[in-house]
């Protein structure tokens, strides 16, 4: 691109790093990273408990861990939707 031309999409061609884009996205939707972190914690806990599950069948243990991980993610998504609805409709931003 020559220096004499203006960018076609300036918001996409700005000099920003991936980290700043990620932080901006996390500020816009804060419950997505919380859901991802919770999912990772449940999976890690499930892998840890896999060793000490006793006489529980493997399939039953995996079903419990899947339900727990999905529940955490669905809960985080629900909280995020409620947060955005409150922010958009009840606490109206200044225009």
Alpha-carbon distance of 25 to 19, in angstroms, equals: 10
Question: In the block, which residue shows the tokens 């816009």?
Answer: 28
What burial letters (b/e) apply to 45-74, b meaning 16+ CB within 10 Å?
ebeeeeeeeeeeeeeeeeeebeebbeebbe
Give pLDDT, residue 3. 57
61 and 45 Cβ atoms separated by less than 8 Å: no
pLDDT per residue rounded down to tens, the chain (95 residues)? 455 666 566 555 555 778 887 788 777 777 778 878 888 888 888 888 888 878 888 888 889 888 988 888 888 888 888 888 888 888 776 66
Residue among 81, 66, 67, 70 at smallest CA distance from 31: 81
Alpha helices for 1-95 (secondary structure H): 18-28, 31-50, 58-85
């Amino acid at each position: 691109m020559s220096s004499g031309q203006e960018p076609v999409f300036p918001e996409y061609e700005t000099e920003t790093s991936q980290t700043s884009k990620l932080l901006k996205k996390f500020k816009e939707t804060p419950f997505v990273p919380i859901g991802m972190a919770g999912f990772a914690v449940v999976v890690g806990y499930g892998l840890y408990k896999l060793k000490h599950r006793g006489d529980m069948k493997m399939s039953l243990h995996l079903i419990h861990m899947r339900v727990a991980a999905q529940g955490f993610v669905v809960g985080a998504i629900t909280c995020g939707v409620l947060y955005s609805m409150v922010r958009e409709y009840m606490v109206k931003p200044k225009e």
